[in-house]
Structure 1
Amino acid sequence: MSKPISEFIEKYFLHFNAAAIVDAAKEYENQLANGSKMLVSLAGAMSTAEIGKIFAEMIRQGKVDIISCTGANLEEDVMNLVAHSHYKRVPNYRDLTPQDEWDLLLKGLNRVTDTCIPEEEAFRRLQRHVFKIWKDAEENDERLFPHEFMYKLLLSGVLEEYYEIDPKNSWMLAAAEANLPIVVPGWEDSTMGNIFASYVVKGELKASTMKSGIEYMTFLADWYTDNSENGIGFFQIGGGIAGDFPICVVPMLYQDLEREETPFWSYFCQISDSTTSYGSYSGAVPNEKITWGKLDIETPKFIIESDATIVAPLIFAYLLEM
């Protein structure tokens, strides 16, 4: 079997962050071989960076068992699915003036670094369909998590007429088809979260129709307990709440719930461009997590200080060749 990616990085990625990529990928592979489950957390704008082109295949091949992501990553993969041709790339984004940025706003183009998401074709196209799903659930006294509503939306087929990319490149669609568990901490600060809140303010929806972050944490506590027999690894892309929320479930289980048999995370890798400084969670070295009861002394730990849009696809490609 040809393994061009793994052979390339094993030959040339020998030191510093490059070597950490190889080491982290190999240990991820070892975790899977030993029967460990794997959590992947997505921060930043990885969906807008089209991580779905490779992450969807990771899901289909069973190399991801649970995802923690921001509300933005949850929705932006679906937006890319239905509005890709309307996105605008701005390669000279560093040169934009405030007036240039204002002009983009007036055109309904919300910029994420070098990529503008089209408000009308992306946000509003989803809004009318997802509102109906929210409203139907409320009328049936049904309460669901944010990702479960998105799964309903995707699996209903109502978006298929809008597909503008190959659906196999949507990680959310792959996750919905696999009914993969997801936790979405802080969903309220996403665009769909804002839209849902606006309906609550207008009295058109009840806040209770959407399950809360506390309910996500209690779900994760049960999931971790039920799936930790052979260990659960933690692969963190970026920092922030997408990583901090799920990793805390371990100290919660054995400190607050006093389940002393709870194992630590069996693997930890973080890809981040944040360096260690001034209390930054995203820049904290893995050993700091030992003091918080998240990682054990023997837990394999890796930190890759680099651009996740470069590193994550490399590691996923390596794993898909195995």
Structure 2
Amino acid sequence: MSDKGEVSKFIEKHFLHFNAASLVDAAKGYEAQLGQGAKMLVSLAGAMSTAELGKIFSEMIRSKKVHVISCTGANLEEDIMNLVAHSHYKRVPNYRDLTPQDEWNLLQNGLNRVTDTCIPEEEAFRRLQEHIYKIWKQADDNGERLFPHECMYRLLLSGVLEEYYEIDVRDSWVFAAAKANLPMVVPGWEDSTMGNIFASYVLKGELKASTIKSGIEYMTFLADWYRQNSSNGIGFFQIGGGIAGDFPICVVPMLYQDMEEKDTPFWNYFCQISDSTTSYGSYSGAVPNEKITWGKLDIKTPKFIIESDATIVAPLIFAYVLKI
């Protein structure tokens, strides 16, 4: 008798062909990966936190279905922004009809649009700025150097934001990661809002740039983590494209080719949810087999690509893995 919940049973019954079938295959492959004692990296690109993926991704973290995360700086901060300013967000379902004047009006009202959802600048960005600055400044004064995600972990675990919570904290994936002290890399953090704010303090001479550890240090951290955790294999579950996926997947060819550690195992599971077109020459649209030529995937690595909307696909795969 199946131990699956109603959502998973629905998926198994109805998702039988094309991208739907690929979703099921990838979900079963994810389960098989965990079943053999392997670990899983999940990369988050796009605006998945603003899409409130945390509602289910946080449960994946608590259930130990994720072992390391690579995400953009935007996803790192926007999950926390949603936690403290959710009621101030504005949905714009007719976003396709907006004129340049409409967009300007949103800006003047402190609303920064991501497709159909506007993030409230004052309640989200500025509410965090006061508190994260204190963490940066304390580290700076103490000669301490931190990764961007470590600063966010400290912020959440300090409890200073609790008075602002507007959703159930269990729906915040960054809070779940902080509680678990989950390993994370945040490549290209500098282009996020918090990265920009930190840079502004450096320009004003209030903080030292070296207080925040660099992308190179993230790469060397990930290399050490990969060495220590790859005995049973490590899978790669990529949501979207961009630097969140490109950065961590390169740790394998770096170890194998540049460090000449010839016993480095390839990623032993790969799935990407993407709607990028292969013929455009984009890395995000590259089919998994192309990664074989770059020394990232083995010829035998189970490979899945689901050409669809990640905001639809990822929650369904996570629901299947969680047996919902």
The reply to whether TM is greater than 0.5 is yes
* Residue 250, structure 1, aligned to residue 252, structure 2: yes
Aligned to 2:117: 115
* Residue 73, structure 1, aligned to residue 60, structure 2: no
Aligned to 2:199: 197
Query: In structure 2, which of residues 39, 43, 59 is the aligned counterpart of residue 37 of structure 1?
Result: 39
CA distance in 2, matches of 1:139, 1:46: 34
Aligned to 1:53: 55
Q: TM-score, normalised by structure 2?
A: 0.99
Deviations 1:247-284 (A, max 9, x none): 00000001000000000001000001112123101100
Deviations 1:87-116 (A, max 9, x none): 000000000000000000000000000000
Aligned to 1:86: 88
Aligned residue type for 2:77: E
CA distance in 2, matches of 1:105, 1:131: 24
Would you say how many aligned residue pairs link Structure 1 and Structure 2? 322
Aligned to 1:64: 66
Ranges of 4+ aligned residues in structure 1 off by more than 4 Å: none
Query: In structure 2, which of residues 287, 290, 293 is the aligned counterpart of residue 288 of structure 1?
Result: 290
The alpha-carbon distance between structure 1 residues 2 and 31, as it changes in their structure 2 partners (threshold 3 A), is closer
Aligned residue type for 2:157: L
SS of 2:322's equivalent in the other structure is helix
Q: Tell me the CA shift for residue 2 of structure 1.
A: 5.4
Aligned to 1:124: 126
SS of 2:282's equivalent in the other structure is coil
* Residue 20, structure 1, aligned to residue 22, structure 2: yes
CA distance in 2, matches of 1:260, 1:189: 35
Aligned to 2:151: 149
CA distance in 2, matches of 1:167, 1:28: 26
Q: Tell me the CA shift for residue 147 of structure 1.
A: 0.1
Aligned residue type for 1:268: F
Aligned to 1:210: 212
Q: Any unmatched runs of 5+ in structure 2? A: none
CA distance in 1, matches of 2:321, 2:97: 38
SS of 2:206's equivalent in the other structure is coil
CA distance in 2, matches of 1:202, 1:220: 32
Query: What is the alpha-carbon root mean square deviation over aligned residues?
Result: 0.7
Deviations 1:8-58 (A, max 9, x none): 111111111000000000010000000000000000000000000000000
SS of 1:59's equivalent in the other structure is helix
Query: In structure 1, which of residues 274, 299, 302 is the aligned counterpart of residue 301 of structure 2?
Result: 299
Q: Any unmatched runs of 5+ in structure 1? A: none
